[in-house]
DNA sequence: TTAGCTGCAAATAGTTTGCAGTTTT
DNA sequence: AAAACTGCAAACTATTTGCAGCTAA
């Protein structure tokens, strides 16, 4: 489902790289694809594992380097760790809420009418020039709450 | 200014520790005090440095252990790194916005009318049971923008 | 008294970096 | 051909952990 939208998203990342004078190698394209196709907001290690079968020579260092490049270009966002001690990455640049399940360490997106106003409010009241945000709520997702989510 | 409020806040942290059956050692009390008195939301290393003159035998490991205990008790919050690669801690449990200046790595709090609604909205729409949040905006603070904030 | 805490040092683990060889442009 | 990139391994660094001795309760 929404395959062509995914292709567009991959093309957007590829375009960002080329635009900034970076080279579009097979490894980088694969990393972009993994970012877009991933359900949860992946870590570097998760992308690496996901790509390993198809790209056996892929290096974890290359994944880190590419992710950092994309972050520096503003093409993707870091959203911090999800209780697993590793950085997670988010392809969704639209202001939104990230929901972390502290039981399964998954991260999902949620649109929020209220959050869209917050950035404006913050800029107006603080004098800050806002460049980015991490809006993360921690809790227990319905799936985990369902099957024995006592903890 | 607001010294008695600060004393109350320190007492709150001390109370949390005792309440949970933990011991109130001089080191822990000093760490609580440093957390409350710190202007910016400090890292473990910052607390350690701040306390070192008065507590020359204080160990960084003890700072980490105490901070973790306080987080587990829900007495303080982790708010992620501020571009310096280290975890920052926040004593303010009221839902609020953290503003990180990416030039001076300082973190300050801001109240936001809109953010108070977001948690409700999220719980209602997602089915998540929310336990905590990190609302962090990154940008350039007015001070840094003033003196040559071109970058 | 004794369970829990401190301080120290060693261990962990995520991320970054240096470099030789390879590849995109 | 040249500049940039990959892969590997070593380096870094924030944080955690193990343990012997100390101390709050």
Question: Taking CB atoms and an 8 Å limit, are A137 and B121 in contact across chains?
Answer: no
Q: Looking at the structure, do residues B70 and B4 belong to the same domain, yes or no?
A: yes
pLDDT value of position A1: 57
pLDDT value of position A9: 96
pLDDT value of position B24: 97
Q: Compare CB distances from A122 to B99, B118, B130 and report the shortest one's residue.
A: B99
Interface of B with A (CB under 8 A): 80-81, 97, 99, 101-102, 108, 110, 112-115, 117-119, 121-123, 125-142, 145, 149
* Residue numbers of the domain that contains A141: 94-151
pLDDT at B1 over 60: no
**Pairing mode, strands A107-110 and A97-101:** antiparallel
Look over chain B and give the mean of its residue pLDDT values, rounded to a whole number.
91
pLDDT value of position A104: 86
pLDDT value of position A61: 98
pLDDT value of position A79: 94
Q: Looking at the structure, do residues A4 and A54 belong to the same domain, yes or no?
A: yes
Q: Provide the CATH number for the domain around residue A130.
A: 3.30.1490.190
E strand map for B58-127: 77-81, 87-90, 97-101, 107-110
Q: Looking at the structure, do residues A109 and A98 belong to the same domain, yes or no?
A: yes
pLDDT at B63 over 50: yes
Question: CA of B144: which chain A residue's CA is closest?
Answer: A128
The owner of tokens 């394209």 is: A29
Mean pLDDT by 10 residues, chain A (151 residues): 83 96 97 95 97 96 98 94 93 93 88 90 91 92 72 37
pLDDT value of position A146: 77
Q: Looking at the structure, do residues B64 and B6 belong to the same domain, yes or no?
A: yes
Q: Looking at the structure, do residues B114 and B61 belong to the same domain, yes or no?
A: no
How crowded is residue B15: how many other Cβ atoms within 10 Å of its Cβ? 12
Cβ–Cβ < 8 Å for B36, B89:
no
Q: Pick the residue of B126, B143, B145 with the most A CBs within 10 A to test the interface with A by mutation.
A: B126
Give the span between the Cα atoms of A136 and A99, in whole angstroms. 6
The widest CA-to-CA distance across chain A, in whole angstroms, is 51
Give the span between the Cα atoms of B36 and B42, in whole angstroms. 10
Question: Taking CB atoms and an 8 Å limit, are B122 and A140 in contact across chains?
Answer: no
Cβ–Cβ < 8 Å for B150, B103:
no
Q: A104 or B48, which is more confident?
A: B48
A144 φ, ψ (degrees, to nearest 5) = -70, -35
Q: Looking at the structure, do residues B14 and B55 belong to the same domain, yes or no?
A: yes
Nearest to B62 by CA among B93, B30, B87, B20: B30
pLDDT at B79 over 60: yes
Q: Name the domain count of chain A.
A: 2
pLDDT value of position A147: 64
Q: Looking at the structure, do residues B66 and B112 belong to the same domain, yes or no?
A: no
Indicate if the alpha-carbon torsion angle B39, B41, B46, B49 is positive or negative.
positive
In angstroms, the Cα distances linking B94 to A72, A76, B38, B83, B133 are 32, 29, 18, 23, 10
pLDDT value of position A103: 83
Residue B2 confidence class, pLDDT cut points 50, 70, 90: low
Q: Looking at the structure, do residues A105 and A119 belong to the same domain, yes or no?
A: yes
**Pairing mode, strands B107-110 and A107-110:** unpaired
Give the span between the Cα atoms of A111 and B44, in whole angstroms. 34
pLDDT value of position A14: 97
Indicate if the alpha-carbon torsion angle A83, A86, A90, A96 is positive or negative.
positive
Min Cα distance A61 → chain B (Å) is: 18
Give the number of beta-carbon pairs within 8 Å between A and B. Answer: 121
Q: Compare CB distances from B122 to A112, A122, A145 and report the shortest one's residue.
A: A112
Which positions ≥6 away from A151 have C-beta within 8 Å?
A: A103
pLDDT value of position B150: 41
Min Cα distance A56 → chain B (Å) is: 30
pLDDT value of position B110: 93
pLDDT value of position B148: 52
Cβ–Cβ < 8 Å for A79, A134:
yes
Overall residue count recorded for chain A in this entry: 151
pTM for the full model? 0.90
Q: Looking at the structure, do residues B45 and B3 belong to the same domain, yes or no?
A: yes
Nearest to B100 by CA among A82, A105, A78: A78
pLDDT at B51 over 70: yes
């Amino acid at each position: 489902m929404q395959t062509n939208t995914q292709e567009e998203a991959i093309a957007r990342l590829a375009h960002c790289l080329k635009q900034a004078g970076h080279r579009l190698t097979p490894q980088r394209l694969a990393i972009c694809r993994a970012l877009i196709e991933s359900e949860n907001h992946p870590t570097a290690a998760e992308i690496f594992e996901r790509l390993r079968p198809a790209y056996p020579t892929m290096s974890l260092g290359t994944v880190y380097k590419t992710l950092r490049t994309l972050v520096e270009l503003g093409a993707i966002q870091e959203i911090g760790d999800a209780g697993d001690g590793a950085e997670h990455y988010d392809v969704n640049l639209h202001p939104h809420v990230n929901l972390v399940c502290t039981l399964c360490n998954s991260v999902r997106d949620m649109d929020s009418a209220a959050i869209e106003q917050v950035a404006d409010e913050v800029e107006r009241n603080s004098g800050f020039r806002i460049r980015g945000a991490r809006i993360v709520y921690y809790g227990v997702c319905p799936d985990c709450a369902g099957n024995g989510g006592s903890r």
